[in-house]
Structure 1
Amino acid sequence: MPKRRSDLFSFLNVKKVKMGAEQEMNENHGGAWQPKDPRAEPITGEKPSCSSKEAVDHLVLPDCWSKKQALLFTDQYKWLEIKEGKLGCKDCSTVQHLGARAEKHVHVSKEWIAYLVTPNGSNKITRQASLRKKMREHDVSKAHNTIQDLIKGPTSSDPVSSSAPKLSIKNIDATVKVFNTVYSLVKCNRPLSDIEGVIELQEEKGEDIGSCLHTRYSATRIAEHIAKEMKMRIFRDIIEKNAKICVVIDETSAVSKKSTLVIYLQCTVQSAPSPVMLFVALKELMSMTADCIFSTLLSALNDCGFNNDYLNDNLIAFCSDGANSVLGRKSGVALKLLENFPKIILWHCLNHRLQLSLDDSISEIEQVNHLKMFLDKTYSIYHLSNTSHTELETIAKELELEIIKIGRVLGPRWAACSLRVATAVWRSYPALYVSFSQSSSYSGLAKRLANINFLKDLALTMDILEEFSLLSTALQSRSTNIQKAQKLIQCTIKALENLKTRPGKYESQIEDLIKSNEFKDIPFNKNNKFNTLPRNLLLEKIIQHMHLRLLLEGNDDEGILSYFNLLEPSTWPYEELTLPWIAGERKLDHLSEILKYEIDLNDFRDFVDNNVKSKKAPIPTTIQEAQKIVRTIAVGSAEVERGFGLMNVICTRVRSSLKVDHISDFMTINLLGKELADWDATPYVKSWMNCHHRLATDTRVRKKATRAFYEDRLALWNLR
């Protein structure tokens, strides 16, 4: 027994020494066991290159690794990359699909593609061992080795490559037909599940379209590939031309439980007479903070090839709807853009500024917006039950539709600033009074309608909103630039000033309406408790809002618009202008900084000289380019609103399972793609083959059996 006890103690001591040595090895080398061979020491102890050290210094490493361990494993596994403290495979991320080399139960790991591999375990040693195991298993996996072979290229001794289908004209033509089918479904906003029926119809007509790529899953992947290639080609050309761009964003919650960022950019294309607005992407937001929106926006632009260097040189403007998280003065997205790109122009969508000017002006003069209160109460009444909703529908169809819309926007504040809502109330005025007066519960609303002051306020509101509507419609035009928007705003201000001296179109109709047969049953009266809006004061406040919020202001006293006017001869002070125009030339350098484009002084002098002397000479090259850049600045986000309409067409109840990325791909094809008659699918099929995807004629895919036509149904057609 004593002997056995001493053997046991000696065994435990030896084991403790081994465990201590193993722990020391884990701390120094990540646990990778290496023999104590002196001949191997110069190799394993070889100092890495300076560039590798510098690369590791800028990386965020896993929490269980040191810089020495990161250098060791990246040298051992050439495919290994580290991003944000997670591991990934650059080879798998490049290829992503096995294509014709795919086998059953063999697939590429999504975690290694997306750089999402993290360690498991509660302590440092366990987490290190977890990473070693994952790297080793991925290195010897069949999918990874297949991708390594694909990167190296096919060999004559490769049995898989020799058994792969030969790329003939027949193979390409069949795949082109499938691509055309998918493209037509997306352009027509049809569900991709319809591809099976369309393919079956084509086969009945004798078309040879192979036996592969006939499922909804394949159609989704084809649409994703087409959208990716389409954006890559378009944005690559923009980057090569070094075109100036303006970014326009908006948010929506209609396509996902989370908020979604909608990104557009406007740029000038040489062949197009006016700037072109291009859809970039839909991106789901993890949160509505300014940091999240900014990082998502920058990531989406980088994915399209617009890196930070390009944005610093060519991003000249940013436009949004003016939400606090976007255009906040202290921590908005616009402020973060200004910190990263100091010379950018921040622009608030004119239509969004315009829409709430009336309500803001009423609030400033400390008056009650009775139309807003009326709509609020009407909305609450007719949404209590289906019976009330049906009553409203019978009273006034137009008003019923507008009341429904109130729940979809921010509330009665926006509805009270809508000309369509005010017009619906105006047209349904007698019917609404009759309905409210028949019920004692709604007597307050009936008294409000019977007050002459309410009718006068409604008429004044409609006259103001009609001017806003005309301006808003003009601003939504794709050809509207900053100079044209400025003129439109000035015309609206003059129209509002005319309202101060004489009644508007609807105000002048009040007396005739009261005497008409339609309004004869309404006992109009004046209620002293109902304070009417101070007409002239309200119009003065609105005009002030137009000056303060709608005119483009700069960081200096004169404003950015004064620099843009150097390129617009109609705004020049010809009575004070002498040649050379010294005052204009002093502003020219600052204009070049704003546009991030150098305007030649001699070209500017020729441009001024030709316009002063009324010469019909061609505009100099640098002046033409500068004018195009000014037109690139978007004055509103109307194009984004049009994209919302397309989004609603795509996201139907039948397609409720669509993800945000899929919707983004479909919108890309719809908004950027050519018409089906002009679209050539062959380049996209070739890039599809280069990504090692299957062709439509792949013989290893079993053809799906067609649906049987039942005999009893066939018998109906045989009746004679």
Structure 2
Amino acid sequence: MGDPGSEIMECVPPAGPEASESTPEENEDGIQFASILFPKMPKRQGDLLHFLNAKKVKTDTESSNRKKNYCVLSKSKESNFKYVEQPIIEEKPSCSSKEEMDNLVLPDCWNEKQALMFTEQYKWLEIKEGKLGCKDCSKVRHLGLKAEKHVHVSEEWIVYLVTPNGSNKTTRQASLRKKIREHDVSKAHGKIQDLLKESINDSVSNLVHKQNNKNIDATVKVFNTVYSLIKHNRPLSDIEGAIELQEKNGEVNCLNTRYSATRIAEHIAKEMKMTIFKNIIEENAKICIIIDEASTVSKKRTLMIYLQCTVQSTPAPIMLFVALKELASTTAECIFNTLLSTLNDCGFTNEYLKANLIAFCSDGANTVLGRKSGVATKLLENFPEIIIWNCLNHRLHLSLDDSISEIKQVNHLKIFLNKIYSNYHQSNKSQNKLLENVAKDLEIEIVKIGRIMGPRWAACSLQAATAVWCAHPVLYMHFSHSHSGLAKRLSNINFLQDLALMIDILEEFSLLSTALQSSSTNIQKAQKLIKRTIKSLENFKIGSGKHESQIEGLIKSDKFKDIPFKKNNKFNALPRNMLLENIIQHMNLRLLSDRKHDESIFNYFNLLEPSTWPYEEITSPWITAKKIVSTIAVNSAEAERGFNVMNIICTRVRNSLTVGHISDLMTISLLGKELADWDATPFVKSWSNCNQQHVAIKRLK
């Protein structure tokens, strides 16, 4: 299609203020325009006056025929100004084009004749409110699978916003001619024309629907690939190799960059949270917030936020991961503001929290549970009706630590394990010598020993203490040649008695700690478990434990016959009854009372225990109240498990991940279904509805 610029300059004069009056020049222009409309007339006239006189003496029949032809021709031109919904439209004759053209607002540098000329030459051109647009591009709007890199439909042509540039009429006319020409030959417009040709046998809506289905099918495969990588804790950079394999197998042709995979992960996590939290808010469910703080591989301080709630669809409370947030500082004010803003972003407004937030659980850190300015205190100022609960597992470990710290006598077991740690933790040579004589599992446990008798000693040191108990003869033979001091401790009967006592105590603590971490444990069940453990410890005061009762038999056995056991007055045994009494006292103090509500809070909760109910008087409100109380979390073990997932995701190889990306990956890993049960279609449709780039578009590097 040729450039219309020269024809316009020759055939159509510029419009101006003088166009409203009839002038000889205008009449001459009208004659020239008439020659365009009637190509069968002679191109040249010998005399202008002769031509005008000949025009006047035309018969009425000829004039009538000419008017009829002009009317039909005008109709064909007018059809270009109508917006069409389908690419192929059957036009009906009409003679109203002249009236519509008179009412049409044209660009200020065009007149009616120029508008007719351009719309005749470019069938896709349409004018609205003095601006140009493309009715074909406006109809299709996007290219779908036909899109390529740097090829997109111009938004200006879609919404009729093309205007001329320049300060004078000539420049503005040239500007419009250039824009029309460039759009006509553009690659995107050509693809639009191809789509319209394909729609001859089908409507545009059906064609777009089919293309969308193709997009969805292709995008679902990519979403499944990304989802599988996340669920298996694989780096998103593996997407390139996975997609390359699929393309080789002819499965999918799509984006294959880590950037696109990251965007998909963000979208899946966002939609997943939106769906879950929206259902909770719609049910007006009661919630309990659990938080814990730690640092990532890159040493960034982060806040782990969990939520426990009870919904009608599940009989038991459910624990949900909310987010992992980076902390600007570890002050109570910063933690409180981060927690509140995160909940608000998830849809939990302050009004909802005031009505439905019933409890807050965390570890025993002073920053979180400080009485004067901790996070718990700030929460009570905003939500005065909530219950502040300290994690029972942390209380359990602290009760043991407090009991040990009050014993003034020398703790032989602690000194022994600390010396092993200092000798073998950093020396590879010493580790190799120990490995030659000691079993592999014992060597690993001993080398990994950290702080002894600390807050986590009950969980971390039971296996090491048991390993020392099982390998006692082997350790004595090893230390007798290299560390005589350690060998003397192993041959001391008091050390063996202390070791047996601590193993018996640690086993009880380990069983209780594991039971408290169960998701089915509520306050009433936790109270029963704690009382049962206390009763077991009280029985130790009367009789011997499992390992203590084996000491006499072990000493007489062949396994221990080479060890010269004796009592060394220099190393006194632990005061057994005092230790047990301290442990029981601290467990009652830390586990069976609350600093604000005291032990009376358990009495209120016991009213909701089914074993105390008169079944003939049970009503629905009591059952509902029991479910609400079950929502209160008794420990922050789930947050600890969340940190384990975080450490699996954020390895030293992937330490460039931001905290936000880690949070998205954790959301999918913790809240997402298994790949076989997960349906990517809703996520793909929401991805498309958000006007994001289709994954199925081939993106060249």
TM-score exceeds 0.5? yes
Kindly provide the amino acid, as one letter, of the partner of residue 413 in structure 1: G
Of 241, 244, 247, the residue aligned with 1:197 is 241
Cα shift readout 1:488-525 (whole Å, capped 9, x = no counterpart) = 11111111111111001010011111111222222112
Secondary structure of the corresponding residue to residue 272 of structure 1: coil
Kindly provide the amino acid, as one letter, of the partner of residue 639 in structure 1: E
Distance 1:415 1:424 in 2: 18
Distance 1:415 1:673 in 2: 31
Contact 2:410 2:571 in 1 (8 A): no
Of 584, 588, 596, the residue aligned with 1:555 is 596
Of 506, 525, 531, the residue aligned with 1:484 is 525
Structure 1 residues 569 and 683, CA, compared in 2 at 3 Å: closer, same or farther?
closer
Unmatched runs of 5 consecutive residues or more in structure 1 = 1-98, 107-145, 573-607, 705-720
**Within-5 A mapping of 1:115-154:** none
Structure 1 residues 464 and 558, CA, compared in 2 at 3 Å: closer, same or farther?
closer
Of 280, 294, 314, the residue aligned with 1:252 is 294
Secondary structure of the corresponding residue to residue 282 of structure 1: strand
Deviation at 1:155, TM superposition (A): 3.0
Structure 1 residues 432 and 558, CA, compared in 2 at 3 Å: closer, same or farther?
closer
Tell me whether 1:429 sits opposite 2:472 in the alignment. Answer: yes
Contact 1:263 1:280 in 2 (8 A): yes
Contact 1:192 1:220 in 2 (8 A): yes
Deviation at 1:103, TM superposition (A): 12
Cα shift readout 1:303-352 (whole Å, capped 9, x = no counterpart) = 21112222121111111121222222333222222222111111111111
Distance 1:629 1:435 in 2: 58
Distance 1:392 1:306 in 2: 56
Contact 1:245 1:267 in 2 (8 A): yes
Alignment match, 1:694? 693
Contact 2:233 2:648 in 1 (8 A): yes
Distance 2:372 2:566 in 1: 50
Alignment match, 2:636? 637
Of 183, 186, 207, the residue aligned with 2:230 is 186
Of 405, 409, 428, the residue aligned with 1:386 is 428
Deviation at 1:415, TM superposition (A): 6.5
More off after superposition, 470-479 vs 194-203: 194-203
Kindly provide the amino acid, as one letter, of the partner of residue 229 in structure 2: L
Secondary structure of the corresponding residue to residue 677 of structure 1: helix
Structure 1 residues 524 and 154, CA, compared in 2 at 3 Å: closer, same or farther?
farther
Tell me whether 1:329 sits opposite 2:328 in the alignment. Answer: no
Alignment match, 2:159? 155
Kindly provide the amino acid, as one letter, of the partner of residue 691 in structure 2: H
Alignment match, 2:442? 399
Deviation at 1:556, TM superposition (A): 4.8
Distance 1:396 1:196 in 2: 44
Structure 1 residues 269 and 427, CA, compared in 2 at 3 Å: closer, same or farther?
same
**Within-5 A mapping of 1:97-496:** 155=159, 168-207=212-251, 209-211=252-254, 213-394=255-436, 395-407=438-450, 413-414=454-455, 416-417=457-458, 418-439=461-482, 442-496=483-537
Deviation at 1:406, TM superposition (A): 3.2
Deviation at 1:224, TM superposition (A): 0.8
Distance 1:385 1:256 in 2: 27
Distance 2:471 2:338 in 1: 46
Alignment match, 1:504? 545
Deviation at 1:382, TM superposition (A): 0.3
Structure 1 residues 379 and 353, CA, compared in 2 at 3 Å: closer, same or farther?
same
Cα shift readout 1:407-461 (whole Å, capped 9, x = no counterpart) = 4xx555357533222112211222222222212xx32222222111111111111
Structure 1 residues 553 and 411, CA, compared in 2 at 3 Å: closer, same or farther?
same
Secondary structure of the corresponding residue to residue 305 of structure 2: strand
Kindly provide the amino acid, as one letter, of the partner of residue 555 in structure 1: K
Kindly provide the amino acid, as one letter, of the partner of residue 314 in structure 2: A
**Within-5 A mapping of 1:461-610:** 461-553=502-594, 555-556=596-597, 559-570=600-611, 572=612
Distance 1:276 1:678 in 2: 19
Contact 2:414 2:452 in 1 (8 A): no
Kindly provide the amino acid, as one letter, of the partner of residue 423 in structure 1: T
Contact 1:375 1:412 in 2 (8 A): no
Deviation at 1:266, TM superposition (A): 0.6
Deviation at 1:686, TM superposition (A): 2.0
Distance 2:434 2:340 in 1: 47
Secondary structure of the corresponding residue to residue 676 of structure 2: coil
Structure 1 residues 415 and 491, CA, compared in 2 at 3 Å: closer, same or farther?
closer
Deviation at 1:157, TM superposition (A): 6.4
Structure 1 residues 236 and 281, CA, compared in 2 at 3 Å: closer, same or farther?
same
Alignment match, 1:655? 654
Q: Which runs of 4+ in 1 moved over 4 A?
A: 99-106, 156-167
Deviation at 1:554, TM superposition (A): 6.2
Kindly provide the amino acid, as one letter, of the partner of residue 478 in structure 2: S
Secondary structure of the corresponding residue to residue 376 of structure 1: helix
Deviation at 1:156, TM superposition (A): 6.2
Cα shift readout 1:135-190 (whole Å, capped 9, x = no counterpart) = xxxxxxxxxxx9xx89xx96366889977895521122111211111111111212
Distance 2:227 2:160 in 1: 36
Alignment match, 1:664? 663
Distance 2:566 2:239 in 1: 66
Structure 1 residues 558 and 371, CA, compared in 2 at 3 Å: closer, same or farther?
closer
Deviation at 1:633, TM superposition (A): 0.7
Contact 1:268 1:274 in 2 (8 A): yes
Unmatched runs of 5 consecutive residues or more in structure 2 = 1-141, 163-182, 196-207
Distance 1:173 1:157 in 2: 35
Contact 2:476 2:490 in 1 (8 A): yes
Kindly provide the amino acid, as one letter, of the partner of residue 360 in structure 1: D
Secondary structure of the corresponding residue to residue 560 of structure 2: coil
Distance 1:157 1:177 in 2: 38
Secondary structure of the corresponding residue to residue 570 of structure 2: coil
Contact 2:417 2:452 in 1 (8 A): no
Contact 1:372 1:416 in 2 (8 A): no
Kindly provide the amino acid, as one letter, of the partner of residue 333 in structure 2: D
Greater Cα radius of gyration, structure 1 or 2: 2
Distance 2:606 2:544 in 1: 35
Kindly provide the amino acid, as one letter, of the partner of residue 420 in structure 1: Q
Distance 1:154 1:562 in 2: 70
Alignment match, 1:136? none
Contact 1:376 1:412 in 2 (8 A): no
Secondary structure of the corresponding residue to residue 388 of structure 2: strand
Contact 1:482 1:635 in 2 (8 A): yes
CA RMSD of aligned residues (A): 2.9
Deviation at 1:621, TM superposition (A): 2.3
Contact 2:287 2:357 in 1 (8 A): yes
Secondary structure of the corresponding residue to residue 260 of structure 1: strand
Kindly provide the amino acid, as one letter, of the partner of residue 429 in structure 1: H
Structure 1 residues 240 and 461, CA, compared in 2 at 3 Å: closer, same or farther?
same
Structure 1 residues 157 and 681, CA, compared in 2 at 3 Å: closer, same or farther?
farther
Q: Identity over aligned residues, as a percent?
A: 69
Distance 2:307 2:449 in 1: 30
